[in-house]
Amino acid sequence: MLKIFKNINAQRHEERKAELYRNLIRHEARIGGQVFGVVPKGHRREFFCLDEHTWVWHEEWADNSGQTRVQTTRYDVRPNGIIKSQGGHLQPVTDREAARLYQAAKHYRERIQREMYAFAG
């Protein structure tokens, strides 16, 4: 019986850790969405670091006819360059876009550190 309770507690602990991670990513994504300026009313914009090599830009808005539009761009940072995935199409980014991504990532890291994790260090 004790073994069953230990397994249940371990499972709950893992679920809490996963939920905390998802909440942190969501909060980071909202902050990251502001890196490029004020998010227009009616828009949802997110920019975040998914893992060591992956950045995601996501935006949703309603167009003039009220249709919801969604645009998600994923940047995979590889040793030989950055690959952009958008709408199912893969392509290398230009040097200019890579420089802009670098600046955005730098601002993102600064804001995340200042607004979320400054208390921890």
Q: What is the pLDDT tens value at each position of the chain, 121 positions in all?
A: 666 666 667 788 888 888 998 998 999 999 999 998 888 888 999 999 999 999 999 999 999 898 999 999 999 999 999 999 999 999 999 999 999 999 999 999 999 999 888 776 5
The residues near 84 (Cβ < 8 Å, ≥ 6 apart) are 73, 74, 75, 76, 90, 91, 92, 93, 97
* pTM assigned to the model: 0.81
Q: Which pair of tokens denotes residue 18?
A: 């996963």
**Which pLDDT does position 79 carry in this prediction?**
93
Where do the structural domains in the chain lie, given as residue ranges?
A: 2-120
**Which pLDDT does position 3 carry in this prediction?**
67
**Which pLDDT does position 12 carry in this prediction?**
85
How far is the C-alpha of 48 from the C-alpha of 5, rounded, in Å?
37
Give helix 2-33 / helix 95-112 axis angle, nearest 10°: 120
The residues near 69 (Cβ < 8 Å, ≥ 6 apart) are 60, 61, 62, 63
